[in-house]
Chain A
């Protein structure tokens, strides 16, 4: 699919920046369809160019740390926590600095109802079902807003996970992005195809690189269900740009949640498109950030192009010591998408005056029988509530942590599986405890 014609030819400066990023980057070896998909993506990228700080879509997040030809080295974090969701019985797949780690991974075939492959393997051949999905949702997602890093990813991704769910999966799939190289700069691209009535859960965790670019394309057929829960690595120096594209058929369901703690820069884009009637998509996230070197951006775009679909966006951020949080979320209801139920809320809790939350909630509606609402709030901890807790003997710091967890709880509730959510809550408690005093 070609880009919408409203993209102006990129300026020379933008082209130069894009070419600088691409210099020395070879397209990975692929079979025929892979080569074509990568070349198309590269053409898309060149047509739009990499984002520049003044771009409207990047007004609140400076893309420069993601644009450089080389990833800036980021210190490795000593992490003594047990791996999250390690006890859930999920099938484990490990990428270390973006490279598949067979020894640390489970047997990819040890799952019923789902076929799992590595992207590198899927792309090696000349025939594969992934041909119809790889880059397809990404390229659809380039309009009306360009997402150059996603195109860059499609062109250059070296590996990823290809999941084909044909029935209810016998276990969840847990992808762990380990990091052991200070300069690792992985580009990973994963595909999820959910057949009619099938259901699968994908868990992701870890930093994965000093700079990491991931794309997930999820095509959920009629009545299929896809759950995506993610905890982004705590490494304070890492930069991450992630895109998740989901397309939903009739009566399909997509539930997504991301917890982010730390990270120098995180841009999580979520693009959801309803193409069948009566489907639901919930995308939610929580982040906690401490310090000026924390910048977190949730960018969401939900397109309703079917009847009676329900979309829900719930994003919460806790920011302190000069941290920055960004939310730009849009609900687009196309003409004819009657009875759409769209909801969007973004909230931040600022623990001091130095931190900031920038929000751009948008509704664009071309149907006349819809219920859409959006809200955005930012505030400090309620002093009355804090006093109430302290008056019962809870020390101030602990009372504040209780309030922070309470604030985030509403986002965590979006996760359907309570056990997965509970593990995230425990991680949040740990994060807060480490910052005590």
Chain B
């Protein structure tokens, strides 16, 4: 489903290579995790895939269901089914959470040639999804992410994911800033979305998130490359021995 081949990326401002040839394929129905030390390029990969400015792709390709992602605007990628749960969800004063979500959903549907969702249908859909994430009416009414706690922001990201129903979900350090209870809520939300038509790429520094969201495949990323790939046991190895051992082993 998501196919990344030989992807090389520079930081535009600094002329510095961050990704040095990433190869990765996420199949539908599977959860892939990417782990790696700080500065390994994990988050850059998520930004490049979602179309954030400031990065220059110098080689390789990234496709979703065969469509060239790198040639699309961010909104087109979203309509094609890509979703990035941000490490730092952005606060946007003045834009209501619900207004935003409905605008996004209908924009995606319009782009795909589908009918827009009515207010009543939308309200029903959001309420249902919000309930399982323990997002109350007040959070839905407030401006987007404004004054939300870390946990609320992450739950709000998962709510967006649940409402937009993307084909391919990328979670960038979703566990950062979460306490145990919030981690459980967020993970339950993600697990509820797991199905055979949907792929996940879970980016995390720590193994603990993977206790809750069990990956099918674990990749270790270092210095802009995937250096090792294995099963869930690889995450446990990181937890036990840290990155140094694995990195010295592949070096």
Interface residues of A (CB under 8 A from B): 383-385, 387-396, 398-399, 402-403, 405-410
Inter-chain contact A392/B164, CB cutoff 8 Å: yes
Whole-angstrom distance between the Cβ of A390 and the nearest chain B Cβ: 4
B105, closest chain A residue (CB) = A393
Give the docked Cα–Cα distance between A407 and B143 (Å).
12
- Is B160 a contact of A403 with CB atoms below 8 Å? no
Chain B residues near A (Cβ < 8 Å): 50-53, 73-75, 77-79, 83-84, 86, 89-90, 92-95, 99-101, 103-105, 107-108, 111, 143, 160, 164
Most buried by A among B78, B89, B94: B94
A–B pairs, 15, beta carbons within 8 Å: A387-B90, A388-B89, A388-B92, A391-B50, A391-B51, A391-B77, A392-B78, A392-B164, A393-B104, A393-B105, A393-B107, A393-B164, A406-B92, A406-B94, A406-B143
Decide: A402 near B86, CB < 8 A? Known: A391-B78, A393-B75.
no
Q: What is the CA–CA distance of A402 and B164 in the complex, to the nearest angstrom?
A: 19
Considering the chains assembled together, what is the distance between the CA atoms of A407 and B92 in angstroms?
10
* CA of A406 to CA of B145, assembled, Å: 13
Where chain B touches its partner, the secondary structure class is helix
Seed contacts A391-B74, A392-B101, A393-B78; 8 additional CB < 8 Å A-B pairs? A383-B53, A387-B74, A388-B86, A392-B78, A393-B107, A394-B107, A398-B103, A403-B92
A-B contact count (CB 8 A): 81
**Cβ A402 vs Cβ B95 within 8 A:** yes
A391 CA / B49 CA spacing, docked (Å)? 10
Inter-chain CA distance A407–B79, complex, in Å, is 26
Chain A residues with CB below 8 A from B104, complex form: 389, 392-394
Contact A402 B100 (CB under 8 A): yes
Cβ of A125 to closest chain B Cβ, rounded Å: 50
Closest to B104 in A: A392
A390 touches B73 (CB 8 A): yes
Cβ contact within 8 Å between A398 and B95 = no
From known contacts A392-B104, A396-B75, infer whether A403 and B52 are also in contact, taking CB-CB under 8 Å: no
Q: Is B92 touching A387 in the complex (CB atoms < 8 A)?
A: no
> Contacting A403 at CB < 8 Å: which of B51, B95, B105, B143?
B95
Are B111 and A393 touching (Cβ within 8 A)?
yes
